[in-house]
C-alpha cells in the first residue's frame, strides 16, 4: 500500500522501528549516563562520586595560534585503577564501567589485572566495589559485584574462561532500569546489597 507522499506502508514501519531503537539507545554512552547520575547524586546530596582522572604525561605541545595549544604527544604515567570512586553513606565506593556490543557474553579481556587487584584491595578494606556492565545492543545495564567477579577472574587466569555469559550476568548481577534523573541508579542496588 502506498501513501499519498509516495511512502510505502513498510517504510513507515521501518521509520517507527528506527525511532524506537534510537530512543532505546538514547545515543548516550554508559560513561555519560553515569556522569549524569553522579551529578544528580551530588546535586541532591545523596553521594559524592566522581570519575577519576587518568594520569597523563604531556610530552609535546604545538601552538598553531597564540590562543590555542594542541597536545601532539602524551603518555599514560601509570596504569589506572578503576573509573569511579567516592563516598556513600559513610562507605567508600569504587567501580569500573564497561560497555560491550556482544549480546551473549562479556569478554574478560575488557578488564585488566591491576583493576581486579585494586578491587580486591578495596574489598579487603571494607569498601564497596563492582562493575557496571552495559550490553549496548540490548540496551541493558547490570551491576555486577566484585565478589562475584573474582571467581570468574580466577578461572580466566587459569585459562578456563575467556568471558562471562550474559545469562550468568543476568543471574548473578542486578539489572538497572534506565531512569530520567538518575539514569543509571546503581545506589538503589547498593542499598539492597550492603545496607
For 58-83, the pLDDT digits (tens) are: 778 888 777 788 878 877 666 678 99
Give DSSP secondary structure letters for 11-37: HHHHHHHHHHHHHHHTT--HHHHHHHH
What are the backbone angles phi and psi of residue 95, rounded to the nearest 5°? -150, 160
Classify each residue of 84-109 as buried b or exposed e, where b means 16 or more C-beta atoms within 10 Å of its C-beta. bbbebeeeebbbbbbebeeeebbebe
Who wins on pLDDT, 102 or 24? Answer: 102
Q: Is 139 annotated as a binding residue?
A: no
For 111-160, the pLDDT digits (tens) are: 999 999 999 999 999 999 999 999 999 999 999 999 999 999 999 999 99
| Architecture in CATH of 30-194 | 3-Layer(aba) Sandwich (3.40)
pTM: 0.78
For 47-59, the pLDDT digits (tens) are: 999 998 776 777 7
CA 180 to chain centre: 17
Q: Is 125 annotated as a binding residue?
A: no
SS3 157: helix
- Short-list 78, 77, 32, 31, CA closest to 58: 77
Amino acid at each position: 500500500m502506498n501513501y499519498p507522499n509516495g511512502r510505502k506502508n513498510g517504510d513507515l514501519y521501518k521509520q517507527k522501528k528506527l525511532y524506537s531503537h534510537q530512543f532505546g539507545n538514547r545515543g548516550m554512552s554508559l560513561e555519560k549516563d553515569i556522569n549524569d547520575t553522579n551529578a544528580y547524586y551530588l546535586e541532591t546530596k545523596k553521594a559524592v562520586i566522581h570519575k577519576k582522572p587518568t594520569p597523563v604525561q604531556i610530552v609535546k605541545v604545538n601552538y598553531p595560534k597564540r590562543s590555542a595549544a594542541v597536545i601532539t604527544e602524551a603518555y599514560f604515567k601509570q596504569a589506572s585503577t578503576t573509573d569511579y570512586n567516592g563516598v556513600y553513606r559513610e562507605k567508600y565506593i569504587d567501580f569500573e564501567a564497561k560497555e560491550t556490543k556482544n549480546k551473549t557474553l562479556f569478554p574478560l579481556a575488557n578488564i585488566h589485572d591491576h583493576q581486579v587487584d585494586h578491587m580486591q584491595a578495596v574489598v579487603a578494606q571494607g569498601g564497596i566495589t563492582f562493575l557496571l556492565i552495559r550490553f549496548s545492543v540490548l540496551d541493558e545495564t547490570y551491576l555486577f559485584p566484585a565478589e562475584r567477579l573474582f571467581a570468574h577472574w580466577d578461572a580466566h587466569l587459569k585459562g578456563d574462561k575467556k568471558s562471562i555469559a550474559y545469562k550468568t550476568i543476568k543471574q548473578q548481577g542486578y539489572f538497572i532500569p534506565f531512569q530520567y534523573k538518575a539514569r543509571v541508579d546503581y545506589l538503589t542496588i547498593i542499598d539492597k546489597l550492603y545496607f
